[in-house]
Amino acid sequence: MAVWIFSKTQGAEHLNLRQFFSTALACLPMVFILNIAQAQETITISGSTTVAPIASRAAEAFLVNRPEIRILVNGGGSGVGINAVGSGLAQIGMASRMITPRELSRFERSQLKAHAVGRDGVACAISASIYNAGVRALTREQIAGIYLGKIKNWSALGGPDSAIVVIDKERHRGTRHVFMNYVFGDANARTPGARLVTGSNNEERAKIAQSDAAIGMLSLAWLNDAVKGVAIQEGDARIEPSVANVRSGAYPITRDLLFVTAGEPVGAVKEFMEFIYGPKGKEIVVDSGYIPIERP
């Protein structure tokens, strides 16, 4: 068993895969293909780059005992994953937000069903240089002011005299839905203060790390030494973005991580879902930086 990672820069192998997904998935930044030998059944998993580490690690472990199955895991965002399942292009959609009423209506015949496989928090992420300069917490109102373009310099927030580089995410991304819903009460809020718009977690993190004055939004699992999560200030309470605070319910920007199927899963998809909820699957969720969830 092997793992291949295809990118748009690669050659013939990727062109063949892109033909397979030409309708809806041609623009995805990366695709993981596990066990590309002859297979009796293929499970295609598409969507959120937040959930993708769980799916790819679980797929590799699952195939140890089911080598005859082929599993494809590709990103693109929560909206892409939900649409892929609803359109019959994938058996499992990965989503880091809830399915919207509009999506449920659009794909009514597919009977979309969400299965929570983990829990996560979304951090207001800033460049390490700003964090180290003393900006350790922001209020909801301050974050809103930054994204609306009303607060333009870190000095207004106790930081250095440096223009804020505001980074947004593509509108179909689950992380954006959750973050904007907390900040504005509107998952589709406009952000006139934003200077850059990114897609995947990798891209968002890279852009924040490359700047010495940036702000963005990231899953807690994607924070590192170059990209720090600020605490959320709510009244006198300063709530740190930590797994412990997500688990306790203290941290305010949280979401379930979902696998989405068309109706109840059957066959190999059902087996894979049962693996995710088992001991090894829960271990993988934890190793990916998230909180495991008991099967409902």
Domain boundaries, the chain: 42-119+255-292, 121-254
The pLDDT score that the predictor gives to residue 6 is: 24
Both tokens of 285, joined, read 């969720």
Choose the CATH number for 42-119+255-292 among 3.40.190.10, 3.40.1360.10, 3.30.70.260, 3.40.720.10.
3.40.190.10
Query: Strand, helix or coil at 146?
Result: helix
- 228 residue type, one letter: K
| Chain segment 116-173, per-residue pLDDT in tens | 999 999 999 999 999 999 999 999 999 999 999 999 999 999 999 999 999 999 999 9
Both tokens of 60, joined, read 């590799």
Residue pair 230/241 in contact (Cβ under 8 Å)? The answer is yes
The pLDDT score that the predictor gives to residue 41 is: 86
Identify the sign of the CA torsion 7, 9, 11, 15.
Answer: positive
The pLDDT score that the predictor gives to residue 294 is: 84
Query: pLDDT tens per residue, the chain (296 residues)?
Result: 223 222 222 332 333 333 333 333 333 444 455 554 454 689 999 999 999 999 999 999 999 999 999 999 999 999 999 999 999 999 999 999 999 999 999 999 999 999 999 999 999 999 999 999 999 999 999 999 999 999 999 999 999 999 999 999 999 999 999 999 999 999 999 999 999 999 999 999 999 999 999 999 999 999 999 999 999 999 999 999 999 999 999 999 999 999 999 999 999 999 999 999 999 999 999 999 999 998 77
Choose the CATH number for 121-254 among 3.40.190.10, 3.10.129.10, 1.10.150.20, 2.60.40.10.
3.40.190.10
List of E strands, 129-224 = 137-139, 165-169, 196-198, 214-219
Name every residue whose Cβ is closer than 8 Å to that of residue 47 and which is 6 or more positions away in sequence. Answer: 75, 76, 77, 78, 79, 80, 81, 82, 84, 90, 93, 94, 95, 260
- For residue 157, how far is the Cα from the chain centroid? 28
Closest of 22, 23, 48, 18 to residue 33, by C-alpha: 18
Domains 42-119+255-292 and 121-254 share a fold: yes
